[in-house]
């Protein structure tokens, strides 16, 4: 009888395969239901010993209707009363499931599970209308982390972001500001915009020898009575002086933009001479 010498490495150690162990596919059939987790029913489960496996992929086929199976694991080598639910992920999406859901045909996907610390894995039928559902289970021997799809979690804590140099690109379509002009603004309130808007700039000139105030109201003209309605903002104009400004941060008005010119910040008395007014808005 001829003997085959053992293959040795250069330092005279026995060579071993670099490939993982080949594990046969485990098969079984669901022909009935097992309603209780700890009362075994023949044909109600398909069980796999996964004590030497890292992960498992399972798939079902056959002719059946309305069969729903739950996925369960156990850290005990035997026994009927030590099973618990485990999560798996579909092979065609990051859909995490505890059960197959009611199936009446072979699905277009399988399920993958991490079984690193389990002794046994099984599918248990909790509902069945008819037919036989055949399960095929393939164990993997590579060391893996738990299935990545089930590792997502809410982000907690404080996040600090450091920004480097930033280039701001202008939009290809540019919308300019609208503007309102009144060459004789006085204590009669007028509408700049009859709906919600934002004031980005203004240009006022007071020809009087006394100060004038421009009052801004966040209200429709029908709801404004100068001297009675409190302004949202009141701008002081020194005697015979103009004031203009373009604002980086606009003034926001959620109802409407209404203005008037008076001798005091919240009053209703008209200035001796009307003022010239321009308001830029959107």
Query: Strands, DSSP E only, in 88-196?
Result: 88-90, 96-97, 111-114, 120-127, 130-140, 178-185, 190-193
Lowest-confidence segment of 154-158, 160-164, 214-218 by average pLDDT: 154-158
CATH 2.60.120 domain extents, the chain: 26-146, 178-281
DSSP state of 11: T
Share of the chain above pLDDT 70, in %: 85
- Work out the pLDDT band at 206, boundaries 50, 70, 90: very high
DSSP state of 99: B
Element at 199 (helix H, strand E): strand 197-206
Give me the pLDDT at residue 3, please: 73
Q: Is 119 left (phi over 0), alpha (psi -120 to 50) or beta?
A: alpha
State the CATH architecture for 26-146: Sandwich (2.60)
Quick check: 14 pLDDT over 80? Answer: no
Q: What angle do CA 25, 80, 39 make, to 5 degrees?
A: 105
Give me the pLDDT at residue 166, please: 63
Q: If we measure between CA atoms, which residue out of 206, 187, 201 comes closest to residue 276?
A: 206
Fold of 178-281: Jelly Rolls (2.60.120)
Quick check: 163 pLDDT over 70? Answer: no
Buried b (16+ CB within 10 A) or exposed e, 230-259: ebbebbebeeeeeeeeeeeebbebebbbbb
Q: Quick check: 257 and 192 in contact, CB under 8 A?
A: yes
């Amino acid at each position: 009888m001829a003997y085959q010498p053992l293959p040795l490495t250069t330092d005279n150690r026995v060579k071993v395969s670099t490939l993982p162990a080949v594990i046969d596919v485990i098969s079984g059939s669901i022909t009935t239901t097992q309603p209780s987790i700890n009362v075994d029913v023949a044909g109600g489960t398909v069980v796999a010993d996964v004590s030497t496996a890292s992960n498992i992929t399972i798939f079902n086929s056959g002719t059946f209707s309305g069969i729903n199976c739950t996925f369960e694991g156990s850290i005990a080598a035997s026994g009927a009363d030590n099973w618990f639910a485990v999560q798996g992920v579909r092979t065609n999406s990051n859909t995490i499931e505890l059960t197959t859901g009611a199936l009446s045909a072979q699905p277009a996907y399988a399920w993958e599970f991490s079984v690193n610390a389990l002794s046994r894995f099984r599918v248990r039928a909790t509902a069945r209308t008819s037919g036989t559902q055949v399960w095929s289970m393939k164990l993997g021997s590579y060391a893996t982390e738990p299935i990545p799809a089930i590792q997502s979690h809410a982000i907690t804590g404080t996040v600090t972001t450091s920004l480097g140099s930033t280039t701001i690109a202008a939009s290809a379509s540019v919308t300019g500001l609208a503007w309102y002009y009144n060459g004789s603004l006085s204590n009669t309130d007028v509408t700049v915009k009859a709906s919600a808007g934002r004031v980005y700039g203004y240009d006022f000139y007071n020809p009087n020898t006394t100060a004038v105030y421009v009052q801004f109201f966040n209200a429709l003209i029908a709801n404004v009575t100068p001297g009675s309605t409190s302004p949202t903002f009141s701008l002081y104009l020194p005697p015979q002086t103009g004031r203009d400004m373009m604002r980086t941060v606009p003034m926001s008005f959620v109802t409407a933009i209404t203005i008037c010119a008076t001798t005091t910040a919240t009053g209703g008395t008209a200035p001796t001479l009307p003022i010239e007014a321009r308001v830029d808005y959107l």
